[in-house]
Amino acid sequence: MSLASLRVPSSIVLAAVLAACSAGKNISAGDTGHNLDSHDSATDSGGDTDTDSDTDTDSDTDTDTDTDTDTDTNPTIAHVDAHLDPDVTTITTRETIGVVVTATWTDGTTTDVTASSTIASSDESILKFYQQNIGQPLLPGSVEVDVTDASGTALPPFPLDVTADLAAPGDLVFNEILVDPAIGSDPNADGTSDPVNDEFVEIANLAGATVDLSGVTLWDANIATARHTFAAGTYLQPGSVVVIFGGGDVSTLSADNASFLVAANEDHSLHYGIALNNEGDIPKLVAADGVTELTEAPFGADGGATIVNDASMVLDPEVTGTTYIDHTTAAGSVGAWSPGTHADGTAFVGPDGTFTP
């Protein structure tokens, strides 16, 4: 029997194939007479179920705990100081006093904080701050300069003494002069008409500062003794006037920034008052030294202004003028005279009107 004619049952072939597969043998179609390429037991059908679940669990736990410990902050005010400028304890009425307030910071720098501070005088009749940090003396005396910084903290006060300067040439002027009161008139308002008592001179302050009139004397050209001597402690503030009458009672007279006096002299048996001569005279003021002439106002026969009858003479313009006119012709005149006020009846400005910016 030939091997080619030997036919092997298919069941036996299949069993052999399976056995070969189990043994890892590669069986080709040539071995079995059947093409098994398309049925290769690697049945990769695209359903690759590679379930590689390698999950990187390395979580970065490096937490940077380096915190910035740099405590560099903005500087703050360490302390506030003040000083007077100039750094003195006494000034005269012709001077002023400044105040400077300085803040020192924690970094050592300084700042001028004057503008944000509050500066005041303990007595504004003696020293007053018309400007924020400039004190203006008004009368002699003792005060304290008080300083409060912007936070409300009071700094130590500065004691300050004010003295009054004596009147000097150029400080004073005769603003109004009544030589010949009208018959029956009563300029001093004491209820009695008297040609001696009702005469007056009105003296204005040109100095721009309070001046001391203590011992200053009023003279005329005809009598050898002073017509009036100002008492010790008499001061005339800027923008103000003092009126001296020949006599009588002036207690009913009053006006802002004006004072009224009666002539104080050595007349005894005969009363001459301020003794202004109707034909002409030269009233003048002499300093307390008895020699220095402060001002004068000649009129009539003694030169200068033209005599005015039944009315006063007044400077035109008032206080600063050099020419006297009839009071009744002055702008806005209230009448024949106006002791203690301007010709139009308005008050003199006083220190507040002089120094207020």
Task: Write the pLDDT tens digit of every residue in 281-305.
Answer: 999 999 999 999 999 999 999 988 9
Radius of gyration from C-alpha coordinates of the chain: 56
pLDDT confidence bin for 272, thresholds 50/70/90 = very high
Residue 176 has pLDDT above 70, yes or no: yes
pLDDT value of residue 48:
43
| 264 CB neighbour count, 10 Å cutoff | 14
Percent of the chain with pLDDT over 90: 78
pLDDT value of residue 277:
95
**Mean pLDDT, residues 173-197:** 97
State the first-to-last Cα distance of the chain, in angstroms, to the nearest integer.
151
Q: Where are the domains of the chain?
A: 77-163, 165-357
Task: Write the pLDDT tens digit of every residue in 87-124.
Answer: 999 999 999 999 999 999 999 999 999 999 999 999 99
Residue 29 has pLDDT above 50, yes or no: no
Task: Write the pLDDT tens digit of every residue in 252-271.
Answer: 999 999 999 999 999 987 89
pLDDT value of residue 268:
83
pLDDT value of residue 221:
92
Q: Which CATH superfamily is domain 165-357 in?
A: Lamin Tail domain (2.60.40.1260)
- Residue 89, CA distances (Å) to 92, 98, 128, 198 in order: 11, 12, 16, 45
**Residue 184, C-beta contacts closer than 8 angstroms, at least 6 positions apart:** 193
pLDDT value of residue 67:
56
pLDDT value of residue 340:
98
pLDDT value of residue 61:
52
pLDDT value of residue 226:
97
pLDDT value of residue 71:
59
Q: Strand (E) positions, 109-245?
A: 110-112, 118-121, 127-131, 134-137, 141-148, 158-163, 165-166, 172-178, 200-205, 211-212, 217-219, 228-229, 235-236, 241-245
Q: Is the dihedral of CA 235, 197, 279, 184 positive or negative?
A: positive
Task: Write the pLDDT tens digit of every residue in 194-232.
Answer: 999 999 999 999 999 999 999 999 999 989 999 999 999
pLDDT value of residue 269:
79
pLDDT confidence bin for 26, thresholds 50/70/90 = very low
**Mean pLDDT, residues 158-185:** 97
Residue 1 has pLDDT above 90, yes or no: no
pLDDT value of residue 12:
38
More confident residue, 326 or 25: 326
pLDDT value of residue 270:
85
Q: Is the dihedral of CA 163, 132, 153, 124 positive or negative?
A: positive
More confident residue, 59 or 20: 59
Residue 319 has pLDDT above 70, yes or no: yes
| Fold exhibited by the domain 77-163 | Immunoglobulin-like (2.60.40)
- Residue 85, CA distances (Å) to 88, 98, 135, 158, 338 in order: 7, 5, 10, 11, 42
The overall average pLDDT reported for the chain is: 86
Return d(Cα 170, Cα 206) in angstroms, integer. Answer: 7
pLDDT value of residue 50:
45
Query: Which of 186, 183, 217 is closest to 200 using CA atoms?
Result: 186
**Mean pLDDT, residues 50-60:** 47
Q: Do domains 77-163 and 165-357 have the same CATH topology?
A: yes
Token pair for 44: 């990769």
- Residue 143, CA distances (Å) to 158, 259, 351 in order: 8, 25, 18
pLDDT value of residue 49:
43
Percent of the chain with pLDDT over 70: 80
